[in-house]
Amino acid sequence: MTCNIPEPARPLPTRRRAAPCPSRIRNTRTDRQLCRFTQLIAEVLAGQRSPVQMRSLLSYGAYTLLVRRSGIYACARSPRVRRAYLHSEDPEVAEVNAVVDYGSRYRALALRVAFAQHAWLCTHLETDVGRG
């Protein structure tokens, strides 16, 4: 007489988790979030959104520049971000360069986003309009 007793299942080997990479941005904004943020800035520049809605997301200097330039790219339809490039060398700072379609013309837009006081903040804003 033979007895078929199954062998006990072997436990799966445990995997060690890798230590977090120190160069990663804390509380990172994903590419999609930064593209959406750029879209909102483009809508302010087209005059389709009030700059007051963006106040808490911008530093004082970036906000005053946005207020001065709001509506400068007035167009019949909503602007669309066609391409956005994210560049980050420092774990606490990211730069976004974007090409925005305003209907009759494509425009360049650049943002610097920094991690400050437990939140992300746009600290600098550049458009293809002359400085002033």
* Predicted structure pTM score: 0.73
Domains of the chain are: 31-127 (3.10.450.100)
Phi, psi of 26 (to 5 degrees): -70, 140
Closest CA to 113 of 46, 62, 74: 62
**Could you report the average pLDDT of every consecutive run of 10 residues in the chain (132 residues)?**
59 59 49 85 94 93 95 90 88 89 92 81 88 48
